[in-house]
Amino acid sequence: MRRKLAVKDAYIAKLEKMLGIVRRGGSDGKIDPKPLGESTPSSKVLFKAKSSEENQKRQGGAKPGHPGHGRKTVAKEDADQARDLPCPDECPDCGGKILGLGVSSRTLRDCAPPRYVTIRLDAHEGWCPHCMKKVSPPRPDDVLPHSATTVRCDAQTLADHYLHHMTVGTISRRSGLNRSTIHGKEHDLAEILAPCAGRILDDWRRASVKAADETTWPCNGVPGYVYGFFSEDCALYRYRGTRSSSVAAEVFKGSTGTTTTDRFAGYDNTVPGKHQWCFEHIKRNFLELLNREPENREYLKYIPPLVDLLRQAMKLRSLGLPPEEHVREGERIKKAILGIAATRVKDGALQAKFDIFLEHPNKLWHWTEDPDIPAENNWAERCIRNTVIFRKTGFGSQGEAAMADREVLQSVMETLRLRHEDPVGVLADALKAYRPKFRRGMTPDERRTAKEEAAKKVADVLFPRKEHTKPKRE
């Protein structure tokens, strides 16, 4: 009997390991609902308790009594359509005659279903008797070489895939294009837009304040990673099969300014400028200790006030204080945090967390010097969240080439969204500049050079080289 129970326990332990289940206090302890601690995403929480009454009362939206922002009536000439609803001649209740009172107007919104138009293109050709060759009309500006779609359709496809996170299957059903056509078109566009990714990298390196984060991304079922590098007007991605620091080192080469990251070791020796660690991750580390031992006296004495100071540090930028007052308030919070961290405690885990503030002063206090530098990495977390969501519906990439194409196209589309209100229209207009100069008898190398020169013209339209200036704080 004991042998059978031991076999069952071993099998249960194996299944729990496969499911990522962690037990508190060893194999005989209770199952930890948050196997990754305070960093556990909501989808990985095993048991979700009912929200507290306090959280249920915290509803979204503006506070009661705020100025209203109701629907505004538009002028008749400004509306796309105008409908008149005539008043009935007789009362529907008594049948009496109706007297006119005037007109009351309201504004409605309607959405036309997306519709792809099929175009028949008839090219009238001729024959030159002097050159003894066939003469064809020039290619339309809104069609790429050998393309079955217009540049507007190409730009909309990229926006649906990389900005609205539609799968290729969904885009195929909406547009009527075959999946293979969409994949092939994205591969061609990635080749055309490759120089744009280099321009984005240059702009990101010159940004005064930037952030970086990383998450997993599978390729053909094999776990890989995606790095995201963000600034006020740049979004740069690197899809790789490794989480090695060499990926970050490649991007950070020649970088200036201040970079905010989490405490991932891959950034430690790669950031050439100022390096700011995220206080939100540090706060989670302290809360994990308190949740693990809620009765520990040292935890109860030091962790709550320290967590409150970390929250104050992260909210300081949102107060909109003048630079001088921001620096004074930042120094006050810094002094209070260091006062708690300098305390010698008996608990080894708590002392190790305190040592973070004492051993890494060059990675913790840049936010006190400049209101534009955040004390958290929320910007990068929010930017890369869309990739995390698409990973759940798109299931990653299906090859190294597809991953390389996504790296270019996602960087270009998200950067255009940060810089323009209509990224689809801007990209469609820029693609019209792609006109490689082919001629008969060209070698493959000459054709490749012609394509590269034409692609640079597209990059000049989308991302002209400019001198970077520090963004003004509103």
Lowest mean pLDDT among 39-43, 52-56, 148-152: 39-43
Question: What is the per-residue pLDDT for 473?
Answer: 44
What are the CA-CA distances from residue 320 to residues 47, 125, 327, 367 (Å)? 40, 66, 12, 14
Burial code (b: 16+ CB inside 10 Å, e: under 16) for 209-226 equals: bbbbbbeebbbeeeebbb
Residue 38 has pLDDT above 90, yes or no: no
Distance from C-alpha of 15 to C-alpha of 291, rounded to nearest angstrom: 26
Amino acid at 411: S
Distance from C-alpha of 211 to C-alpha of 260, rounded to nearest angstrom: 5
Lowest mean pLDDT among 56-65, 219-228, 291-300: 56-65
Distance from C-alpha of 309 to C-alpha of 279, rounded to nearest angstrom: 10
Question: What is the per-residue pLDDT for 185?
Answer: 92
Residue 251 has pLDDT above 50, yes or no: yes
Question: What is the per-residue pLDDT for 261?
Answer: 92
Counting residues of the chain whose pLDDT is more than 70, the rounded percentage is: 88
Distance from C-alpha of 109 to C-alpha of 96, rounded to nearest angstrom: 35
Q: Are 261 and 214 in contact (CB under 8 A)?
A: no
Residue 16 has pLDDT above 60, yes or no: yes
Lowest mean pLDDT among 39-43, 110-114, 279-283, 395-399: 39-43
Average of per-residue pLDDT across 392-416: 91
Q: Grade residue 113 by pLDDT with cuts at 50, 70 and 90.
A: confident
- Sorted by sequence, the CB contacts under 8 Å of residue 265 that are 6+ apart come out as 245
Could you give the count of Cα atoms lying within 13 Å of 318 in the half-sphere of its Cβ?
Answer: 8
- For residue range 84-100, list pLDDT tens digits in order: 888 888 888 888 888 88
Q: What is the DSSP string of 350-416?
A: HHHHHHHHHH-GGGT-GGGT-TTS-SS-HHHHHHHHHHHHHHHHH-SBSSHHHHHHHHHHHHHHHHH
Residue 467 has pLDDT above 90, yes or no: no
Beta-strand relationship, 22-23 and 258-261: unpaired
- Sorted by sequence, the CB contacts under 8 Å of residue 105 that are 6+ apart come out as 73
Output the CA torsion sign for 169, 170, 171, 174. Answer: positive
Question: What is the per-residue pLDDT for 426?
Answer: 94
Of 331 and 49, which is predicted with more confidence? 331
Question: What is the per-residue pLDDT for 182?
Answer: 92
Residue 305 has pLDDT above 90, yes or no: yes
Of 195 and 118, which is predicted with more confidence? 195
Distance from C-alpha of 295 to C-alpha of 21, rounded to nearest angstrom: 24
Q: Mean of the per-residue pLDDT values for the chain? A: 85
Q: Grade residue 45 by pLDDT with cuts at 50, 70 and 90.
A: low
Highest mean pLDDT among 2-11, 21-30, 441-450 belongs to 441-450
Q: What is the DSSP string of 24-65?
A: TTSTTSPEES-TTGGG--GGG-SS-PPPPHHHHH---SPPTT
Question: What is the per-residue pLDDT for 46?
Answer: 60
Question: What is the per-residue pLDDT for 196?
Answer: 94
Q: Are 277 and 284 in contact (CB under 8 A)?
A: no
Q: Grade residue 199 by pLDDT with cuts at 50, 70 and 90.
A: very high
Question: What is the per-residue pLDDT for 474?
Answer: 41
Question: What is the per-residue pLDDT for 472?
Answer: 45
Q: Are 279 and 373 in contact (CB under 8 A)?
A: no
CA dihedral 174, 179, 183, 184 (to 10 degrees): -110
Average of per-residue pLDDT across 171-195: 91
Residue 409 has pLDDT above 90, yes or no: yes
Residue 31 has pLDDT above 60, yes or no: no
Counting residues of the chain whose pLDDT is more than 90, the rounded percentage is: 43
Of 6 and 379, which is predicted with more confidence? 379
Lowest mean pLDDT among 13-22, 134-143, 268-277: 13-22
CB atoms inside a 10 Å sphere around CB 336: 16
Question: What is the per-residue pLDDT for 266?
Answer: 85
Residue (of 400, 417, 380) closest to 165 by Cα position = 417
